[in-house]
Amino acid sequence: MSRSQLNARVRPMRRRSVEFLIKRTDCDWFDLPLNQYARTLNPRSFSSEVIVGWGDHRIRVPGVEVSISYEDPDFHVTFEGDLPEAEAQLIFDEICLNILEATGQQGVVVPL
C-alpha cells in the first residue's frame, strides 16, 4: 500500500462547515426562551430530528447536522456537511419565520 493510500485510510474525512448568524433587525436580543427552541428552531418542510452534540440546539436534516447556539445577541448557526445553497436558504427562511411567529421579532441571515 502506498503512503497516500495509507494516509487516506487513516486520516478522518473532513466535513464541510458553513456558518451564519441570525440577527434581530429591530433590536439586539431575541426573546426566545430555551424551552421553545425545539419547536421554533426546526424547519417545517424538512424532516428533522433533535440530536445530541455541541450547541444550544442541534438537529439533523437529511445529510446535514445543524448546530444553533445563542451567542449574545444572535443565533450562531453552523451547517456540518454538504447542503445545496437553496436548501440552506429555505431552512433559514423557515427558522426566521418560526422566530417571528413565536416572538414577533424579525431576523435576518448574515453569512460569516
Residue 10 in any domain: the answer is no
Give the tens place of pLDDT for each residue, 3-28. 444 444 444 444 578 889 999 998 88
Residue 82 in any domain: the answer is yes
Distance from CA of residue 85 to its chain's centroid?
13
Residue 75 in any domain: the answer is yes
Residue 4 in any domain: the answer is no
Rounded mean pLDDT, 29-58: 93
Domain containing residue 91: CATH number: 3.30.310
Q: Is the pLDDT of residue 32 over 50?
A: yes
Residue 8 in any domain: the answer is no
Task: Give me the pLDDT at residue 22, please.
Answer: 94
- The candidate with the shortest Cα–Cα distance to 110, out of 65, 75, 71, is 75
Residue 9 in any domain: the answer is no
Give the tens place of pLDDT for each residue, 49-101. 999 999 999 999 988 999 999 988 899 999 998 888 788 888 988 999 999 99
User: Mean pLDDT for the chain?
Assistant: 85
Residue 2 in any domain: the answer is no
Residue range of the domain that includes 25: 15-111
Residue 68 in any domain: the answer is yes
Cα–Cα distance measured from residue 26 to residue 45, given in angstroms and rounded to the nearest whole number = 27
pTM score over 0.75: yes
Q: Give the pLDDT band (50/70/90) at residue 35.
A: very high
Q: Tell me, what DSSP letter sits at residue 34?
A: G
Give the chain's domain count. 1
H/E run at residue 64: strand 64-71
CB contact at 8 A, 87 and 81? no
